[in-house]
Amino acid sequence: MKRVAAFLMVLLGSIFMLLLLSTLGTVSFSLPEVLMILRDRPDTVRANLYMNLRLPRVLIAFFIGAALAVSGEGLQLTLKNPLAVPYIIGISAGASFGAVFSLFLREVARVSISLELLALVFAVLAAFLTYYISRRGGTASVTSLILSGVIISFLFNAAVTFLVVFAWRNIITLHFWSLGSLSATSWDDVLKFMPFAVVQFIAFTILRRKMIIMAAGEEHAITVGLNPERIKASVFFLVALTASIAVSIAGLIGFVGLMIPHIVRMIFGVDSRAGLLANSLVGGAFLMVCDTVARTLFQPTELPIGAITALIGAPVFIYLLRRKEVVGSG
Amino acid sequence: MGKAVDIGNLRFSYGNGDVLNGIDLSVERGEVIGVLGQNGSGKSTMLKIVAGIFKDYRGSVNVFGKEIVSMSNRQIARLIAYLPQFFTPSFDLKVKTIVSFGRNPFIGLMRGLTRDDIEAVNRSMKMADVHQFSERLYSTLSGGERQRSVIAKALAQEGEILLMDEFSAHLDPGHSQKVTKIALELARDKHLTVIAAFHDVNQAVGMSDRLLFMKEGKVVALGRAEEIVTEELMETVYDASTRITENPINKKPLVVFS
C-alpha cells in the first residue's frame, strides 16, 4: 500500500511539475494562464511562445529523461551491472565523433552535414561495433560487452582528439554540445523522439520480468528457460537506438541513466511492478527540473544541462545512499 | 520405460583440453546419484551440460529419450531444475520473486503469473519452509534460508529431474546436512530423479542410491557405496590416504581421511 501511495504521488507530481515548470523561464507565465492557453489556444504572442517554444521543450526534457532512465534500468538489470549506463556501450563517444566530424567537414572540406545527423549515425555505429566485437561463438558475454564498449569509446575519443586539431575554431560549439542542451528543441524533436521512447517503454514492460531473471545471472536464466542472448540483444539495440536519438537531439546528458534507476530501486525495490513506470516518471521529472534550472538560474544565459543533472542529482543520490545504509544496519 | 537421463561418451572442452573425456551414465527414474571427485574433475561441467547451460558438447545426453541439444531452454526448464552452489542476484530481490522465477518456463510472453502459478509458488515456499519470509529480501536471509529459497524456486519448476551442484558446500556442516536433506527428501517425495555433486563423501554415501566417482573428466567408479567405496578408490580419486569403517548410524561405509 505504501508503494502504491508513493507511486501515485510520483505520477501526480510529474504532471503537476510539467505544468508548473513550464511557467518558468525568460518569459514567465502563471499557472492559470497556462491552463487557459492549453484550453482555449488563443492566437496571442504569449500563447504562441508557450505552445511553440516552452511546451515542446518541457515535453522533450520529460521524454528524454524518461527514456534515459528506462534505458539505464534495462541495461543495469540485463547486464547484471549496477554501473551500466546507456553511454557505456560506446554511444557517447560515437556521437561525439559524429559531432566533431561534422565540424571538421565544415572547416576543412566546406561540406555541411547536420551535426545532429552525424552524431546519430556514429552513435548507432559505435553501438553496433561494440556488440559485434563482443560476440564470440554466438554469445556476447556481459564482461566482453562492457569491455568492448570501453574500447570502442577509447577509439572514438582518440579520433575526436585528432579531429579537434583541425576543427579547433569550433571547439566551443563542440564543448557546449557535449555538455548537453535542450535550448534549440522544437515540436519536431518531440514527435521524432516520442515514438522511440514509447516503443522502448512497451518492449521493456514486456521484457521486464525476464530482465529481473537475468539480473540473477545468465546461467540461472538458462536454467529457468530463458534465452539470454536474445534478451541481451533486444535490450542492447533498443537502448542504442533510443539513447542515440536522445544524444543527437540534446547532446550528452549524463547521470540520468545511471542514477535514476538506483534512486527508484531504493524507493520502490527492484521487483516492484511499477518499477519501469516509476523510472520514466522520476527520470522525466528530474530532467524537466534540471532543464528549468539550466534556463532560469542565470537567465537569459543558459547553463549546460549535463552539468546541472550531476550537480542536483549527485547530492540527492548520496543522501539516499547514506539513509539506506542507516536503515539497513539499524 | 526409458531412462530418466542417459549420458553416452560425453566429451566437452572449454577451449584448451577436454574437461570431460567420455562419460557414460544411465540414471533410472526416481534414482539419486551422488557425484564425487576432486575440484576440477568435471562434476560441475557435467551437471551444467545436463542443465542445458553448455550445449556445444560431443557425445549424447538424453533426457527421457530426447537429446538435450535439440530442446529449447524452455522445454529443458520444464523438465530439469538446477541448484547452483551459489545463487547471487546482483540486485536485492524478495524471496517471493526469486521463487516465482521457477514458473518462468510456463509463462507466455505477454502474460504474467496466473493463479495456478501463484499457487505453485506458495506451495513450493511452504514445502521448503520459506513461506514465513516470502516478503523479505534475499540479502537479509542466512545462508541456510537462502538455499531453502533456491530449493523452493526449483520445486516451483515442477520438473522431473533435480540437479544439485555442491549445493550446500559453503554452509557449515550442520546446515549443509540439513539443507541437502530437505532438498533430497522433497525430491524423493515427488519421485524426482536427482544427480547431485557432493563436496562431502560421507554425505554423498548417506544420501545417494548410487555414487559416481570422477577424475580428470573420466568415470573412475560407478555403483552402490557398499560395493565400490574402498581405500584404493579414495586414494585414486582424492590422492589422499583414508580408512574405511562402518558408519554406526546408517551402516554404510564411513570414509575417514587420515
**For chain A, what is the HEC assignment?**
CHHHHHHHHHHHHHHHHHHHHCCCCCCCCCHHHHHHHHHHCCCCHHHHHHHHHHHHHHHHHHHHHHHHHHHHHHHHHHCCCCCCCHHHHCHHHHHHHHHHHHHHHHHHHCCCCCHHHHHHHHHHHHHHHHHHHHEECCEECHHHHHHHHHHHHHHHHHHHHHHHHHCHHHHHHHHHHHHCCCCCCCHHHHHHHHHHHHHHHHHHHHHHHHHHHHCCCHHHHHHCCCCHHHHHHHHHHHHHHHHHHHHHHHCCCCCHHHHHHHHHHHHHCCCCCCHHHHHHHHHHHHHHHHHHHHHHCCCCCCCCHHHHHHHHHHHHHHHHHHHHHHHHHC
pLDDT digits (tens, 9 = 90+) for B5-47: 999 999 999 888 889 999 999 999 999 999 999 998 999 999 9
Residues B28 and A32: their CA atoms lie apart, in Å, by: 77
> Is the Cβ–Cβ distance between A181 and A251 less than 8 Å?
yes
- pLDDT tens for residues B47-98? 999 999 999 999 999 999 999 999 999 999 999 999 998 888 888 899 999 9
Could you give the count of Cα atoms lying within 13 Å of A187 in the half-sphere of its Cβ? Answer: 7
CATH number, domain of B33, equals: 3.40.50.300
Question: Side chain identity at B228, as an amino acid letter?
Answer: I
A5 contacts: CB under 8 Å, gap ≥ 6:
none
Task: Report the Cα B128 to chain-centroid distance in Å.
Answer: 16
DSSP tag of B24: E
Identify whether A315 is preceded by a cis peptide bond (ω within 30 of 0). no
A213 contact B CB<8A: yes
What pLDDT shows up at residue A102?
87
**Contact call for residues A246 and A253 (beta carbons, < 8 A):** yes
Minimum-distance CB partner of B97 among A220, A224, A271: A271
Most A CBs within 10 A among B56, B71, B97, B137, hence the mutation to make, goes to B97
How many Cβ atoms from other residues are within 10 Å of residue A99's Cβ?
28
β-strands B242-246, A139-140 pairing: unpaired
The whole-number pLDDT of residue A279 equals: 94
- In this structure, the dihedral spanned by the alpha carbons of residues B76, B80, B82 and B88, taken in order and rounded to 10 degrees, is 50
How far is C-alpha A20 from the geometric centre of its chain's CA atoms?
22
pLDDT at A328: 36
Tell me if B73 and A137 make a contact (CB, 8 A cut-off). Answer: no
Task: List CB contacts (< 8 A) between B76 and chain A.
Answer: 223, 225
Given the C-alpha cell 538489470, which residue does it identify? A77
Number of domains in chain B: 1
For residue B161, what are the CA distances in angstroms to B32, B79, B148? 10, 6, 18
Counting one residue from chain A and one from chain B, the pairs whose CB atoms sit within 8 A come to 83
Give the Cα separation of A207 and A197 in Å (integer). Answer: 15
What pairing do the DSSP bridges indicate for beta strands B5-13 and B58-63? antiparallel
CATH 1.10.3470.10 fits A2-329, yes or no: yes
Q: What is the pLDDT of residues B129-186, one digit of tens each?
A: 899 999 999 999 998 899 999 999 999 999 999 999 988 888 888 888 888 888 888 8
- Verify whether the Cβ–Cβ distance A77 to B92 is below 8 Å: no
Q: How far apart are CA A301 and CA A271, in angstroms?
A: 42
Distance from CA of B173 to the nearest CA of A (A): 26
Q: What is the mean pLDDT of chain B?
A: 92
| Residues of chain A with C-beta less than 8 angstroms from the C-beta of B48 | 219
Q: Do B90 and A215 touch (CB under 8 A)?
A: yes
| pLDDT the model gives residue B48 | 96
- Residue B139 to residues A163, A328, B37, B136, B217: CA-CA distances in angstroms? 49, 11, 31, 9, 35
Q: For chain B, first and last CA: distance in Å?
A: 44
Q: Which residue in this structure is represented by grid cell 566546406?
A: A110
Domain ranges across chain A: 2-329
Closest C-alpha among B14, B3, B107 to residue B61: B3
Instruction: Please report, as a single letter, which amino acid is at residue B155.
Output: L
Q: Which domain, by its residues, includes B63?
A: 5-257
B71 touching chain A per CB within 8 A: no
In angstroms, rounded to a whole number, what is the distance separating the alpha carbons of residues A95 and A116? 9
Q: In what order do the strands lie in the sheet with B58-63?
A: B18-27, B5-13, B58-63, B66-67
Residue A265 touches partner B, C-beta closer than 8 Å = yes
- Confidence (pLDDT) at A197: 95
Cell of A270: 527492484
Instruction: Kindly report the nearest CA distance between residue A218 and chain B, in angstroms.
Output: 9
**Nearest Cα to Cα of residue A17 among A253, A288, A320:** A288
pLDDT of residue B1: 53
**pLDDT tens per residue across span A119-135:** 889 999 998 899 889 88
Asked if B87 has any chain A CB less than 8 Å from its own CB, the reply is: yes
Spatial distance between the Cα atoms of B186 and B195, rounded to a whole number of angstroms: 14
Q: So what's the ipTM on this one? A: 0.92
Return the sign of the alpha-carbon dihedral for residues B135, B139, B140, B146: positive
Q: Residues A193, A249: contact at Cβ < 8 Å?
A: yes
Kindly state the cell numbers that stand for A318. Answer: 548520496
CA distances from A222 to A230, B95, B107, B121 (A): 11, 20, 15, 19
Q: Residue B145 carries which DSSP code?
A: H
Distance, CA of B232 to CA of A20 (rounded, Å): 82
CA distance B30 to chain A (A): 20
DSSP B102-138: TTGGG--TT----HHHHHHHHHHHHHTT-GGGTTSBG
pTM of the model: 0.88
The answer to whether A222 contacts B73, with C-beta atoms less than 8 Å apart, is: yes
pLDDT of residue A122: 93
Contact at 8 Å (CB) between A233 and A78?
no
Instruction: Tell me if residue B198 falls in helix, strand or coil.
Output: coil
For residue B26, the 8-state DSSP code is E
> Please, which residues 16-75 of chain A have a Cβ atom closer than 8 Å to chain B?
none
Tell me the percentage of chain B whose pLDDT exceeds 90. Answer: 74
Q: What is the pLDDT of residue B186?
A: 86
Which residues of chain A are under the pLDDT cut of 50?
A: 326-330
Q: Do B91 and A223 touch (CB under 8 A)?
A: no
**B94 touching A (Cβ < 8 Å):** yes
- Cβ atoms within 10 Å, residue A72: 28
CA distance A322 to A280: 24
* Cell numbers for A277: 513506470
